[in-house]
Structure 1
Amino acid sequence: MANDAALRTSLLWLAAVILMVGLFTHSPKKMVATYVLGALGIGALLLPDWDYFDRDYSRWPYPVTADERASLLSHGSAFTRFASSPLRLIAYGAIYGYALHKWWEYVSK
């Protein structure tokens, strides 16, 4: 991961959300559910090497060469490449929207 600050910030926000869930619900089970959902969400968004996955599918079994890395970096930042893929944004929006909806139903009971 190129930006460790984003991971640290996300984990701090997750800790704050877990604390708030604990204070308002007094339920360790709901705190654990919040931790698991948040950790999986953060891991799925921030940990993958997007430069690696932005290559052709046939090249995934092989390491990234210096030429591939240079060509990927010349296209702009990883965030702009991530944001320019509407199918990826739709899929993440649907998956995370559903997960947050189910989490909210569970926590708000």
Structure 2
Amino acid sequence: MSDKMREEFEREWGQVDAAQGVHFIPELNTYGSELYAQHEYAQMKSSAWFYFQKGWKASREALVIELPELHTMAPDDDRKWHGCRNSTIRTCARAIEAVGLKVKP
């Protein structure tokens, strides 16, 4: 998962606190603790992280962006305006899809 998503999670749940002995393990995509007394807290935070990711992914999959329709050029249309408008819509669609979101067809 992205660092941005983990930052959102930690903003809601609370930052990793070195004094608590809880830290994020990127290779495992989970939280852990070397301190036995904090092991339960690390497990609880890992469980919350798992469900946060699951909900975050579901919300991203459900999100569909609707862009304006491509313009069909009429004989009296300005060719430059027409080209720029449609090019901008296509560029926006590619950028939106590049971050994992869907564009309504």
TM-score by length of 1: 0.31
| Structure showing the higher helix proportion among its residues | 1
TM-score by length of 2: 0.32
| Structure showing the higher strand proportion among its residues | 2
Greater relative contact order structure (CA < 8 Å, 6+ sep): 1
